[in-house]
Structure 1
Amino acid sequence: MEKSKEPPKYSDPPPGWTPAKNYEAEMEQPIVYTVAQPPVGPTPCRMVCPSCRADILTDLKRESTTKTHLMAVLMFVLFCWPCVCLPYCMDSCQNANHYCPNCNAFIGTYQS
């Protein structure tokens, strides 16, 4: 009759040994893509539209901001009543929003 062999007993792992990586845990994490916004300035820019991929010159639309309103209130408080509408006419007090003329996609904002 043969004796049943016991499996060998393992002691501490040899030096330099590292356990296997759990690749399944890494695969479950979502992949995040970052899209760089094209540089835009205070004037219309020539670029390739990120939405329709056409070579365009951006449409520029100015928009009043909090800075614009604060400048108007400041002029009103300082008794410069004739100049209250001046910040609404100055490009430096407004944001420049860039749009694609083909697909009307929003491209970016230049804040002065």
Structure 2
Amino acid sequence: MAEKSEQPPPYEYQPPPEGVVQYPPNYTQPTPGQPVTQHVIVQEVPVVGITPRPGSVGRYQQSPELIICQHCNATVTTSVSYETGMLTWAASGILCLVGCWFGCCLIPFCVNASKDVIHTCPNCKQLNGKFRHFS
């Protein structure tokens, strides 16, 4: 009769006994008197952040922005102020045409979202740019 061949048990990791150091297979131990070098693995990690942009490049938006002032070269968040623009007048005119001339046509003059936005530097108080709804 043929005997059953027993399979070896599945491989299980056995940690080395305490005090014993395991080295990778291609590691060669330094000879006595030879300096020991350590290898450090450096991994570059991309840094994501807000980068200020020069004040004269790109379009400004309705909210304050981080910029490099084109006048004083400081990295600042712009101060914003609002002024009446084309959208404000157009919205007011449309409300008048619809029949809202008893004060309702003045609502666009009270809403900052319909106005143009002026961006100034808080350090030197110079104008850096404007956001206009109709350019």
- TM-score relative to the length of structure 2: 0.51
Q: In percent, how many aligned pairs have the same letter? A: 22
State which of 75, 95, 100 in structure 2 corresponds to 1:75: 95
| Matched AA of 1:64 | T
Corresponding residue to 1:54 among 74, 89, 98 = 74
- The runs of 5 or more residues in structure 1 that have no matched partner are 1-34
User: Corresponding residue for 1:94?
Assistant: 115
Between Structure 1 and Structure 2, the one with more helix by share is: 1
Root mean square deviation, CA, Å: 2.0
Q: Matched residues in 1 for 2:75 and 2:58: separation? A: 13
Q: Distance in 2 between matches of 1:37 and 1:58?
A: 14
Give 1:1-112 correspondences, 5 Å limit. Answer: 36-80=56-100, 81-112=102-133
Structure with more contact order per residue of length (Cα contacts < 8 Å, sep ≥ 6): 1
Q: Distance in 2 between matches of 1:39 and 1:66?
A: 18
Please identify runs of 4+ aligned residues in structure 1 that moved more than 6 A: none
Task: Report the Cα offset of residue 38 of structure 1.
Answer: 4.4
**Deviations, residues 6-25 of structure 1 (Å, cap 9, x unaligned):** xxxxxxxxxxxxxxxxxxxx
Q: What TM-score do the two structures reach when normalised by structure 1?
A: 0.60
